[in-house]
Chain A
Amino acid sequence: MLEYASYALVLLALGAYVLLDGYDLGIGILSLFDRSDQRRKEYNELIATAWDANESWLILAGVALWAGLPGVYATVLPGVYLPLIVMLLALVLRGTAIELQSAAPGYRRGWGLVFGISSLVATVCQGLVVGGVLSGLPHRGGVFTGSTWDWLTPYSVLCALGMVAVYLLAGAAWLQDKTTGTAHERAGRLGRPLILAVAVAGLVLGFGLRFADPQHLGFDQPLRATLFGLAVAVAVVCAATAWYGFGRRPDWRPFAAVAGTEAAGLLALVAATAPVVVPPDLTVHAAAGPHGSQLFLLIGVGGCMPVVLAYNLYAWWVFRGKFARPPAHTDPAGPPDTGAAAERSVPAAPAAGDGPWAAVAARRVLLTLLAVAVAAVSQDVFGGVRVWIGPVGVALFAMTALAGWIRSDRRSAAAGEFDLQAADK
């Protein structure tokens, strides 16, 4: 039974990823088709607060798969090597684009383009990965044995198109919830055509699965057929709710409905294929790690999950409601010279106290020797001779340094060397 719990954990993480990063990838793709710089900047800022947390679910899905079902991890990842690498590279560029765009004061067309294109590429690659896995990957003893292009099938290409449609829909639903004004209207108008696209994709992919999947899908088993039918029914109801909700208040309804559709769709897929994870024959039983590892993982992750969900909800709650443009940036500290003028007029510390040349040289030699001695003691060079000098000596040096530092720091503070207001005037 434990392997089903691991499988459920992987599915939970994957589902959360598809839902959460799905909407921000979708917004990224939408930004490619938006002509207003202001709106594109807004899309980016909207995502900047959340993409990091959203992407974490992908990482959780990856490691849960590795720890819980190592057989699947070791088969799938080399099997879909190229699309997965391209997806990772796209995610890397996308994260960079979001952060640099968000840190820049205005809108940067180049970064906006990188953000949009890498979102599209990542989505397409995710579709190719899913489609490639569903089309089956050859393996033996928990290790992939196929060739480089095995993942490229007609079904995986269709999956990529379907993935783009699903993410666009989630993106539009999220935009309706989070924005006001023109972006809000756009999202409301985009919703229904996108639902149609997703419905077509769902039908094509659903019927295509029978032909693409090399395993025999056992719809003659009553339990499986019932579960599958139920999941499909829920998906249809949710999609209808989303259809009704686009362009209407309350603004959160389309996204909630889209979330329901995605979850039900994932469950329908699982109901059709379980216990096989990688067709035709790699099941959860065959791929599962040993009992002890799964138990450790499930207790650890299960114990942390409520806390994780709690602070994720809190972070979501902090940024709840409509997105507000952040106030303009405050000015940076002016031209290089401001505040320095007063400082320059003060002459550099007088050379008094340095003494004659010989004294300076002697002092420097002594100090260098002292530094070498300190380094030698911290290296425990004499450790073989006197054991005690190691930790005790090192602690002594560290404490001396700390004491000296505190004393001088206080003196500097008293002399007003850290006084911001005096320097700013």
Chain B
Amino acid sequence: MASPAVVDISRWQFAVTAVFHMSFPALTVGLSLFLAVMYTVYLRTGNPLYLQIFRFWKKIFAVGFGLGVVAGTVMTFEFGLNWGRYAHAVGPILGVTIGMEVITAFFLEAGFIGIMLYGDGRVRPRTMAFACWMLVVGTLLSTTWILSANSWMQDPTGFAEVGDQFRASDWWQVLFNPAFSYRYPHILLAVLISAAWFIGGIAAWYLVKQRALPFARRTLSIALGVLAVLMPVQLYAGDLTAVFMGAHQPAKLEAFEGNWKSDNNGYNLLVVPDTDKGENTFQVAIPHLGAVIGKDLSGKAHVPGLLQTPEDERPDMWSVFYGFRAMYFTALAMFGMAFAGLVLRLRGRLYTARRFHRLMVWMAPAGVVAISGGWITAEAGRQPWVVYGLIRTSDAVSHLSLGAAIAGLTGFVTVYALLLGLWIRYIVRTVRTGPEHLVTDAGTTVHATEIGHA
């Protein structure tokens, strides 16, 4: 048995690296689709505006994608570094799933990103478009495999336990487990939405500053269009996921509703849980709303509490409750903004509503915040299990000395904090510089191949 300190440190290390890694795909999956569509539209219409959009976002995409790749490389090895016993037990199942991700998706992305970023002037525009679309396929495949692997840990099916290892008895059930069918649409919508907020927020900044106006209007319009369509669908998909998870992992639902005893019909806004006593020392709740959300419109049904779960199987209420609140309240704000955007648009004032633009700028990171919150809810809510109901996290950790584990965590936190700062500074600088001019003084358009490397 490893010491509890090593388990905690390893958990922190995994949480930090996973949330950090996740925030890059959260933007780049949607951005790759956006870039591919923009380049294709440019090819079909020849309108330089779309080339300008493509060039500008390509710069942000390039660095974000690179950071996502290196952070992902770390994840591949972390399963074995700190979680050697877990790696040994689930290698025959999850190793294969992630192996398939690497061979089908990772190589595809890596092979075509070079062409997409540096191919201008070397390949024909059609080949460029092809590379862009291959990148989209790669990022989507990647999301699919990773979600499949993670969902299996949430709700394992299709396996047999042989000795201390898990073996697949039915690969179809392993890959397309029930949790996957709920969580996959949810996360797919989430990554598209978070990219749309990011794009929309930056476009709004140009509108506030009155710069690069056609560029800003066009991208804001696309981003808000996507959001107006996807936000209601996402709220629905998220609700389905929550209902499914509530049925399969009751402790997670209990923790994110923030109740201990099952005698409350309200909806908790704030809680200060006391884990040792099993009660909230402070709590702000809206009466009856919890029951209404639980599909009892009379508002009387009681919301189940965490005391129903045996003590050694309870997740940490702090992280699950506030992770969920971060996701859900950001989602409501996003929904409201998308709705307001649609109303403004129908009234023809989308490009003149100053206050709305300022709010939009603040909403730029909203999607990433919501995804991080959701990820924390899903992963912390699964505790104390690493594979739900089968392997406890404390039994999964490697044989490590405390010093090595602390050194690892310190290294990651330092480097990642530095990277986060650099990434934000890079975005700010790129946005300040603005999109490049593509129209010469004579009014003729410069074409892709003549400009070359961008």
- Is there contact, CB below 8 Å, between A96 and B99? no
A35 at interface (Cβ–Cβ under 8 A)?
Answer: no
Q: Say which one of A177-185, A239-247, A391-399 lies at the interface with B.
A: A391-399
User: Are B107 and A308 in touch, CB under 8 angstroms?
Assistant: yes
Which residues of B lie under 8 Å from residue A419 when comparing CB positions? 49, 214
Q: Which of A201-209, A252-260, A404-412 contacts B (4 or more CB under 8 A)?
A: A404-412
| Distance, CA A90 to CA B8, complexed state (A) | 25
* Interface of chain A residues 51 through 103 with chain B (CB within 8 A): 52-53, 55-56, 58-60, 62-64, 66-68, 70-71, 73-78, 81-82, 84-86, 88-89, 91-96, 98-100, 102-103
Assess A297 versus B113: contact at CB under 8 Å? Given A143-B399, A379-B235, A394-B232: no
B217, A417: Cβ atoms under 8 Å?
Answer: yes
Residues 16 to 41 of chain A near chain B (Cβ within 8 Å): none
A48 contacts across to B, CB distance below 8 A: 117-118
- Contact B211–A74 (Cβ < 8 Å): no
| Sampled A-B contacts (14; CB under 8 Å) | A62-B77, A66-B79, A70-B92, A81-B81, A85-B407, A89-B411, A96-B70, A148-B400, A297-B100, A326-B453, A349-B349, A374-B232, A401-B342, A425-B439
Q: Is A49 an interface residue (CB 8 A)?
A: yes
Interface contact B70-A70, CB-CB below 8 Å: no
Q: How far is the CA of A138 from the CA of B93 in the complex (A)?
A: 25
Please name 4 further chain A to chain B contacts, defined as beta carbons within 8 Å, in addition to the given A378-B239, A379-B236, sorted by A numbering: A89-B411, A333-B211, A333-B433, A423-B214
| 4 nearest A-B pairs in the assembled complex, by CB-CB distance | A70-B91, A67-B95, A326-B453, A77-B80
Interface residues of B in 271-304 (CB under 8 A from A): 292-293, 295-297
Expressed in whole angstroms, the minimum distance between the Cβ of A58 and any Cβ of chain B is: 7
Q: Are A301 and B99 within 8 A (Cβ)?
A: yes
Partner of A312, one of B91, B111, B232, B422: B111
Quick check: is A384 within 8 A (CB to CB) of the other chain? Answer: yes
B81 cross-chain contacts in A, Cβ below 8 A? 77-78, 81, 84-85
Tell me which of B69, B231, B443 contacts A421 (CB under 8 A). Answer: B443
Q: Find out whether the CB atom of A74 lies under 8 angstroms from the CB atom of B87.
A: yes
Q: Which residues of A contact B352 (CB under 8 A)?
A: 348-349
Whether B73 lies near A343 (C-beta < 8 A) is: no
Task: Determine if A408 and B73 form an interchain contact, defined as CB atoms under 8 angstroms apart.
Answer: no
Q: Does B261 contact A (CB under 8 A)?
A: no
Across the two chains, which residue of chain B brings its CB closest to A105?
Answer: B433
User: Which of A81, A329, A391, A422 has the most chain B CB within a 10 Å cutoff?
Assistant: A81
Chain A residues touching B, range: 35 or more
Q: Which of B221-229, B248-256, B358-366, B384-392 contacts A (4 or more CB under 8 A)?
A: B221-229
B426 located at the interface, meaning its Cβ lies under 8 Å from any Cβ of chain A in the complex:
yes
- The verdict on A70 contacting B122 (CB below 8 Å), with A145-B399, A292-B168, A339-B213 known, is no
Residues in chain B near residue A62, CB distance under 8 A:
76-77, 80
A86–B411 CB distance below 8 A: yes
Identify which of B99, B112, B348, B426 contacts A63 (C-beta below 8 A). Answer: B99
Chain B 194-229: CB-based contact to A (< 8 A → 1; otherwise 0)? 000000000000000111111101100100110011
Partner-contacting stretch, out of B305-313, B314-322, B331-339: B331-339
A304–B111 Cα gap in the complex (Å)? 14
Please encode chain B, from 415 to 454, with 1 for each CB lying within 8 Å of some chain A CB and 0 for all others: 1000100100010001001111111000101000001111
Residues of B within 8 A of A81 (CB): 81, 398, 400, 404, 408
- What is the interface residue range for chain B against chain A? 35 or more
Name the contact of A92 in the complex, choosing from B234, B419, B454 (C-beta under 8 A): B419
Chain B residue contacts of A143, Cβ below 8 A: 84-85, 88, 398-399
Q: Closest approach, in angstroms, between the C-beta of B163 and any C-beta of chain A?
A: 9
In contact, A312 and B296 (Cβ under 8 angstroms) = no
A147 touches B (CB below 8 Å): yes
CB of B96 within 8 Å of the partner chain: yes
Q: Mark A308-351, 1 if CB is under 8 A from B, else 0.
A: 10011011001100000011011111101101100110001100
The closest CB in chain A to the CB of B347 belongs to: A353
A333 CB → nearest B CB, Å: 4
Q: Which residue of A lies closest to B167 (CB)?
A: A290
Question: Which A residues lie within 8 Å of B340 (CB)?
Answer: 371
Provide the bound-state CA to CA distance between A380 and B82, in Å. Answer: 41
> With A305-B103, A336-B209 as given contacts, are A144 and B399 in contact (CB-CB < 8 Å)?
yes
Q: Which residues of A contact B (CB under 8 A)?
A: 48-50, 52-53, 55-56, 58-60, 62-64, 66-68, 70-71, 73-78, 81-82, 84-86, 88-89, 91-96, 98-100, 102-103, 141-148, 289-290, 292-293, 296-297, 300-301, 304-305, 308, 311-312, 314-315, 318-319, 326-327, 329-334, 336-337, 339-340, 343-344, 348-349, 353, 367, 370-371, 374-375, 377-385, 390-391, 394, 397-398, 401-402, 404-406, 408-409, 411-412, 417-425
User: Does the CB pair B435–A333 fall under 8 Å?
Assistant: yes
In the bound complex, do residue B295 and residue A74 qualify as a contact, i.e. CB atoms below 8 Å apart?
no
In the complex, B412 has a CB within 8 A of chain A: yes
With A70-B87, A404-B342 given, is the CB distance from A420 to B47 under 8 Å? yes
Task: Give Cα A331 to B452, complex, Å.
Answer: 13
B4 contacts chain A at the CB level, 8 A cutoff = no
Taking CB atoms, residues of chain B closer than 8 Å to A89 are 411-412, 415
Contact B66 A98 (CB under 8 A): yes
In the complex the two chains form, what is the Cα distance from A143 to B165 in whole Å? 12
**B400–A418 CB distance below 8 A:** no
B341 to chain A, nearest CB (A): 9
Q: Which of A63, A141, A290 contacts B92 (CB 8 A)?
A: A290
Q: Which residues of B contact A311 (CB under 8 A)?
A: 107-108, 111-112, 134
User: Is the pair A296, B171 in contact by a Cβ cutoff of 8 Å?
Assistant: yes
From the candidates A326, A330, A391, A406, name the one contacting B437 in the complex (CB within 8 A). A330
Interface residue B115 (Cβ < 8 Å from any Cβ of A): yes
Given A96-B419, A383-B295: A332 touches B435 (CB 8 Å cut-off): yes
B332 touches A375 (CB 8 A): yes
Q: Using Cβ atoms and an 8 Å threshold, which residues of chain B touch A397?
A: 232
